[in-house]
Amino acid sequence: MSRTARHKSHEAASYHLCTRVSGPPKYFPFRNPVVSRKFLQVLRFYLRLYDQKLISFELMGNHYHMILFFKAFQELSRQELQRRAQLRWGRKWFRMTRHWSDEDWLRFNRDLFDVSKFMQHVNGEFAKWFNRTFPRRGPFWAERFLNPELLDTESIRNCLLYIELNAVRAHLVQRPEQWKMGSAYWRWAGKKKDLLAPVEEYFPAQGRQSCFEVYRTLLYYRGAVAREEGQGTIPERILRLEEKRGFSKPGVFARRLRLFTDGIAIGSPQKLKEMLAEYRKRGLYRRRKHPIPHLNGLLFTLREQRSHAFSARE
């Protein structure tokens, strides 16, 4: 049976990307510092090559999450494509591309804006390195990656908070910023600023609070993470705002929520209805008629169906 086609937007889009390692229970290769550092090295390289924006990241023992903003396709100059080819293949770039036709360069250009190609390179190169370094055979990754699209700033913001609480949910740390293989720690420590999108883009300042304070407050509130003695309490205004939006109890992200990884998109009902109508019009989506509500209607998702939701292959 052929796999259902992966949902990918033709416009600029943000995706929640997640991949899990293949192996027995309690197999955690990323707990080895050599392995985790190598993965970050591979990820950094391809973020530079593809020139996309990393919004959030968390590397766990046997899987990782990240939110990645992918730009819409744009036709790059031949000079820029040659620069990217040189970055990709180093000294071999000219030998690799000297017989390329205009069509080959166009294909290379399109690949630079394709989330599937990006994940193929990151996961594929890392898997080859791991199998060579720790002599083993077979697939390193358990399954194809998940990539629900985040359709608006609200869904990006909530998914970011959920991702950065992964280590807290797994009882590995008590505070999200203590997990050094995640973007919460990088923001707290002022590290990897060249990799991460500024927090100001997703958590605008409110009154006298800075953007970082708003982000930190919401992160602690979602995870119900204990604060140190003597630290300020969460502003009553923020708590009231959160309660109105459906988060009536602290800690709602302290448990695993499949809505952030399953399916094809997360967003407002209106945006999801537009996507659903388009797919139904094209005959690609057959059964689902309405977005699925979660958390008292705060978030909505669109999931693949058990029958073939899409007819074409990826």
pLDDT in tens, 6-23: 778 888 999 999 999 998
The first and second tokens of residue 205, run together, are: 């300042």
Q: Is residue 280 part of a domain?
A: no
- In a shared domain, residues 51 and 171: yes
Query: Which amino acid, 61?
Result: G
Cα–Cα distance measured from residue 11 to residue 125, given in angstroms and rounded to the nearest whole number: 27
Binned at pLDDT 50, 70 and 90, residue 192 comes out as: confident
Q: Is residue 306 part of a domain?
A: no
- In a shared domain, residues 228 and 105: no
Beta strands 13-20 and 149-150: pairing type?
antiparallel
∠149-153-157 over CA atoms, to 5°?
Answer: 90
- In a shared domain, residues 252 and 137: yes
Q: Is residue 276 part of a domain?
A: no
- In a shared domain, residues 159 and 244: yes
Domain boundary among 258, 282, 306: 258
- In a shared domain, residues 106 and 124: no
Collect all residues with Cβ–Cβ distance below 8 Å to 152 and sequence separation of at least 6: 267, 268, 271
Q: 193-226 pLDDT, tens per residue?
A: 888 999 899 998 877 778 888 888 888 877 766 5
Q: Is residue 272 part of a domain?
A: no
Note down the domain range covering 145.
13-71+119-258
Mean pLDDT across the chain, nearest whole number?
A: 84
Binned at pLDDT 50, 70 and 90, residue 291 comes out as: confident
- In a shared domain, residues 208 and 93: no
Q: Decide if pLDDT at 235 tops 80.
A: no
| CATH number of the domain bearing residue 171 | 3.30.70.1290
Q: Decide if pLDDT at 248 tops 90.
A: no
- Is the overall model pTM greater than 0.95, yes or no? no
- In a shared domain, residues 227 and 135: yes
Domain boundary among 210, 225, 258: 258
- In a shared domain, residues 97 and 223: no
Q: Decide if pLDDT at 307 tops 70.
A: no
- In a shared domain, residues 96 and 230: no
- In a shared domain, residues 146 and 84: no
**Cα–chain-centroid distance for residue 40?**
14
- In a shared domain, residues 149 and 201: yes
Q: Would the CA dihedral through 183, 186, 192, 197 be positive or negative?
A: positive
Number of domains in the chain: 2
Q: Is residue 277 part of a domain?
A: no
**Cα–chain-centroid distance for residue 126?**
17
Q: 20-46 pLDDT, tens per residue?
A: 999 888 899 999 999 999 999 999 999
Q: Is residue 241 part of a domain?
A: yes
- In a shared domain, residues 236 and 152: yes
The set of long-range contacts for 33-40, using a CB threshold of 8 Å and a minimum separation of 24, is: 35/130, 36/181, 38/126, 38/129, 38/130, 38/133, 39/64, 39/126, 40/181
Q: Which residue has the higher pLDDT, 107 or 239?
A: 107
